[in-house]
C-alpha cells in the first residue's frame, strides 16, 4: 500500500459517490483517479487494467459530455434502461473484447492473470459506457465486476484497492437503489 494508492482510492470513492448523486464533478475527479491508477497497475504488471484506465480517461470525457450535452435535446442524459437488443449487443462486445484482449495478453506479455484481467477490462468498458449514457443497468454490471475485482486485487496484494472495490460494490448497490427511485426513460 502506498500514498499514491491511498490518493487514487480516495478519489475513486468520491467519484462514485458523486456519480450516484448525478453530480457532474464525478467526471473530472474520476479522470484524475484513472490516470493515477494507470501507473499503479503498470507497476504491478496488470497491463489490461492499465490499458483500461487509459480508455477510462477517454470515457470520463465522454461521460462528462453525455451528462452535459448528450441526449435527444442536447441538454444532458436522463436515466434510461437498455432494451434487450442493446443489452445483448453490449454483452457480446464485452465477450469478444475479453477473448481478443485475453489472447493478446496471454500470448504477448508477462501479464498476471491475463484472461481474468482481460475479461474484467472488457466488461468494465461496457459498464462505463452504460454509466456515461446513464443506463440503469450499469450498476448491476458494476456489482458483479467489483466483486470479482476484489478477489483479483487481494491475490495481487493490493489490499487498499481491494478494499476500495469492496466499497465500490456497496456504492454500486446504493447507486442501483438511488437511480431506481428516479424517473427512468423508456427502453432505448
Which tens digits make up the pLDDT trace of 71-96? 677 777 889 999 999 999 999 999 99
Per-residue pLDDT tens digits for 121-145: 899 999 999 999 999 999 999 999 9
> What is residue 187's predicted lDDT score, i.e. its pLDDT?
65
For residues 12 and 142, the answer to whether their CB atoms sit within 8 Å is no
- Residue (of 132, 136, 123) closest to 186 by Cα position: 136
pTM of the predicted structure, to 2 decimals: 0.86
Q: Take residue 167 and report the three cell numbers written for it.
A: 466499497
pLDDT at 44: 86
Q: Is 69 helix (H, G, I), strand (E, B) or coil?
A: helix
In tens, the pLDDT along 31-74 reads: 999 999 999 989 888 887 788 799 989 999 999 999 998 767 77
Q: Which residues pair with 183 in a beta bridge?
A: none
Give the model's pLDDT for residue 72. 72
Grid coordinates given for 147 = 466483486
Per-residue pLDDT averaged across 10-32, rounded? 94
Give the span between the Cα atoms of 27 and 126, in whole angstroms.
17
Share of the chain above pLDDT 90, in %: 68
Amino acid at each position: 500500500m502506498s500514498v499514491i494508492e491511498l490518493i487514487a482510492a480516495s478519489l475513486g470513492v468520491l467519484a462514485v459517490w458523486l456519480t450516484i448523486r448525478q453530480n457532474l464533478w464525478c467526471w473530472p475527479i474520476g479522470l484524475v483517479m484513472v490516470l493515477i491508477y494507470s501507473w499503479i497497475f503498470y507497476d504491478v504488471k496488470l497491463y489490461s487494467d492499465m490499458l483500461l484506465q487509459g480508455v477510462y480517461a477517454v470515457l470520463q470525457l465522454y461521460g462528462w459530455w453525455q451528462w452535459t450535452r448528450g441526449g435527444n435535446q442536447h441538454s444532458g442524459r436522463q436515466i434510461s434502461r437498455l432494451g434487450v437488443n442493446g443489452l445483448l449487443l453490449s454483452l457480446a462486445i464485452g465477450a469478444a473484447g475479453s477473448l481478443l484482449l485475453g489472447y493478446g495478453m496471454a500470448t504477448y506479455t508477462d501479464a498476471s492473470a491475463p484472461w481474468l484481467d482481460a475479461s474484467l477490462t472488457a466488461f468494465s468498458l461496457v459498464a462505463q459506457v452504460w454509466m456515461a449514457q446513464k443506463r440503469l443497468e450499469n450498476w448491476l454490471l458494476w456489482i458483479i465486476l467489483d466483486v470479482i475485482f476484489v478477489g483479483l486485487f487481494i491475490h495481487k496484494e493490493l489490499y487498499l484497492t481491494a478494499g476500495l472495490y469492496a466499497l465500490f460494490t456497496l456504492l454500486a448497490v446504493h447507486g442501483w437503489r438511488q437511480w431506481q427511485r428516479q424517473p427512468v426513460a423508456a427502453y432505448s
